[in-house]
Amino acid sequence: MSATSEPASDPILRSSGGFDGGQPTVAADEVRPPRRWMSVRDPSAQARTTVGGVLFWQILANSVGVALVALYVMVLFPSGSEERVRFTALVFVIYVTVIVVVGVPINVFLLGRAVRWVREGVQPTPSQRRLLFRLPLYETLPCVVWWIGGSVIFGVLNKTSSRVSIGIFFAGLVTCAALYLLVESHFRPVFALALRHADLPDGRRDLLPRLMLTWALGSAVPIALLGIAPLLNDNFEARRMPWIAGFSVLGGGAVMVIGTLSVSRPLTRVREALWDVERGQLDIELPIDDLGEIGRLSKGVNDMVAGLRERERLREQFGHQVGRGAFEVAQGSEEALSSVGVLRTVAVLFVDLEGFTRYSERHDPGQVVDMLNRFFEVVVTTVNREGGWVNKFEGDAALCLFGVPDVEEDYASRALIAAARMRSDLQRVRFDPNGIAEERLNAGIAVATGPVIAGFLGTPERYEYTVIGDCVNLASRLCDLAKTVPGKTLVTREAWEQAGRPDGWRMGSTLRVRGRRQRVSTMEAQTELRIGRRPIRRS
pLDDT of residue 444: 92
Judge contact between 258 and 182, C-beta under 8 A: yes
Judge contact between 271 and 176, C-beta under 8 A: no
Is the backbone peptide bond immediately before 105 cis, with ω within 30 degrees of 0?
Answer: no
Judge contact between 288 and 298, C-beta under 8 A: yes
Convert 158-227 into a string of H (helix), E (strand) and C (coil).
Answer: CCCHHHHHHHHHHHHHHHHHHHHHHHHHHCHHHHHHHCCCEECCCCCCCHHHHHHHHHHHHHHHHHHHHH
Judge contact between 315 and 364, C-beta under 8 A: no
Judge contact between 149 and 105, C-beta under 8 A: no
pLDDT in tens, 233-270: 555 555 656 666 666 666 667 777 777 787 888 888 88
Residues with Cβ within 8 Å of residue 400, at least 6 apart in sequence: 348, 349, 350, 351, 379, 383, 388, 389, 390, 391, 415, 418
Cα separation, 479 vs 62, whole angstroms: 87
Classify residue 395 by burial, with Cβ atoms within 10 Å: 0-12, 13-18, 19+.
Answer: exposed
pLDDT of residue 186: 82
pLDDT in tens, 447-461: 999 999 888 777 767
Reported as type and span, the H/E element at residue 506 is strand 505-511
For 267-312, give the DSSP string: HHHHHHHHHHHHTT---EE-----SSHHHHHHHHHHHHHHHHHHHH
> In terms of DSSP bridges, do strands 489-492 and 443-459 run parallel, antiparallel, or are they unpaired?
parallel
pLDDT of residue 241: 61
pLDDT of residue 326: 62
For 76-162, strand residue ranges (E) read: none
Which domains occur in the chain, in start order? 43-278 (no CATH), 324-536 (3.30.70.1230)
- Distance separating the N- and C-terminal Cα atoms of the chain: 30
pLDDT of residue 85: 64
3-state class (DSSP) for residue 396: coil
Judge contact between 173 and 221, C-beta under 8 A: yes
Judge contact between 212 and 153, C-beta under 8 A: no
Nearest-CA neighbor of 289 among 195, 182, 183, 179? 195
Listed as ranges, residues in the chain with pLDDT below 70 are: 1-48, 71-85, 158-163, 203, 217-252, 318-340, 431-438, 460, 527-539
Number of alpha carbons in the 13 Å side-chain half-sphere of residue 154: 30
pLDDT of residue 21: 34
